[in-house]
Structure 1
């Protein structure tokens, strides 16, 4: 519990005064802060000064934050105004200050709502249609590549006696014009073809399961293997094991490609959900519009 009988002259002093009661390290779930003010005294003017200082701070800080959020510093300004209100003894002044605080809060909420509506309209006019078009094109390309890949199932080594040759597709990879029919030699050929290449541009070195095989090096000098077919390109990091690299290429086709198809479908679903949400939002009115208008009207009457 914190009991404060006198006030400070700056908002930061008031915040500092709380010590650790509102800061990290206080193990209590709830705390109580009592601030004492004297009605019909100079306290009202003093809290007016603090409120105005906090408003200036709020204006500076909220210019740097997202327009759709009400910053804590704005709420703090309202809080100081409430203390100032309690320090006055005039009922009309109290009503005026109470209404002013309430209207200001409603104005912030209303502005936030209208900003979100404006953003929703912009989304519906430009962003969402372009995004859906791009996502649907990508999905079509991924599904085309996935269907194409079905023509080239994963092959086995011809010397693997545990699997009947008539029941499976033989392994085959072409690296730098040479065809390899076993994974050991094919994997080593990949290592030989990529060992000295450090270029950022893709260098194509052969074909595997209907896909072009390439290599490139990223900014961190990490080599990557590329598989390209139709309009789709997949990549994975280049390892030090020849057979391991072939496994990575198989995983790109058999696992990564289907995953990308499903991810793209989910992205389209998310965009459609955003579209539906935006369409509903632009049709709405501010939920507290009537309250805002009534209080604003009463505030105007008291101000005359």
Structure 2
């Protein structure tokens, strides 16, 4: 379905379809035909494994050239961005129970309830998915967008990276969601760092696998060679049997029309008279 060689394999449970030569060989009790059929299956299986091995080699080579370098650099950029945003967050960390001012539509709101209410009012002006900048909070710019499919508003805090929170109808709950989105920044940084470490390990594993030969190459060559010998022997055997059958019903063993035409008229008349007497007797 994917045009790629399958990684897993299983034995074929379908009945083998025999050609005419194979059926004749089986009827003749030739043990080589079973060997040939077994070799056909083994050669097909080994060729499939070889094709899968080559496909894996090409894929790993491509990954070493493009996938790993691109994703390693991308994750390095993410780590750098998260580290920069964490520094911004540390500079704008409120005291226990305090609320840092939120700027919405040019108004600086120092009260939590007022900030939550102003945020809900700003949502009424958002009509589509395109983010609209409405202010800033804790060193990050605030952008709002609306998802008509899910019927929800999404707030994005942008620094070097983007940090999102889904908004509801509770003004205080929205502020809690925003703070939680900023607090999860360290967890996201750790996840990206783990992913980068995993990419390094995968790259090293790919380097060690690239260039390895197909381990069953010699076995495949031997079985292909043996199969060619069996094919030649079986074809030769079938040809001999056919020639022998043709000799038994050869042209020389059948009455010749030309010989009949070469008979004299007298011989022809005598033959007809004998046939007529035979019919009279009957």
For structure 1, list consecutive stretches of 5 or more residues without a partner in the other structure: 1-63, 158-168
After the TM superposition, list the runs of 4 or more consecutive aligned residues in structure 1 that deviate by more than 4 angstroms: 82-87
CA contact (8 A) 2:36 2:227 kept: yes
Mapped contact 1:154–1:250 kept (Cα < 8 A): no
Partner of 1:109, secondary structure, is helix
Cα contact 2:152–2:168 (8 A) shared by 1: no
Q: Which residue of 2 aligns with 1:201?
A: 130
The 1:264–1:137 alpha-carbon spacing in structure 2 relative to 1, beyond 3 Å, is same
Cα distance in 2, alignment partners of residues 66 and 273 from structure 1: 29
Aligned to 2:229: 301
Counterpart in the other structure of 1:134: 74
TM-score (ref. length: structure 1): 0.67
The RMSD of aligned alpha carbons is: 2.6
- Distance in 1 of aligned mates of 2:134 and 2:96: 21
What is the deviation of 1:212?
0.9
Q: 1:273 aligns with which of 201, 221, 225?
A: 201
* Structure 2 equivalent of residue 106 of structure 1: 46
Greater C-alpha Rg: 2
| 1:71 Cα deviation from its structure 2 partner | 7.9
- Count, aligned residues: 226
- Segments of 5+ residues of structure 2 without an aligned counterpart are 233-282
CA shift in 2, pair 1:65/1:204, >3 Å: closer
- Selected match of 2:5 from 39, 43, 68: 68
Answering whether residue 167 of structure 2 is matched by residue 238 of structure 1, we say yes
Query: What is the CA deviation profile of residues 232-254 of structure 1, one whole-angstrom value per residue up to 9, with x for unaligned ones?
Result: 11111111111111111101111
TM-score (normalizing by structure 2): 0.72
Q: Distance in 2 between matches of 1:207 and 1:101?
A: 69
Work out which of the residue numbers 73, 81, 97 in structure 1 matches 2:16: 81
Write 1 or 2 for the structure with the bigger share of helix: 2
C-alpha contact 2:128 2:148 (8 A) present in aligned 1: no
Q: Does 1:264 align with 2:264?
A: no
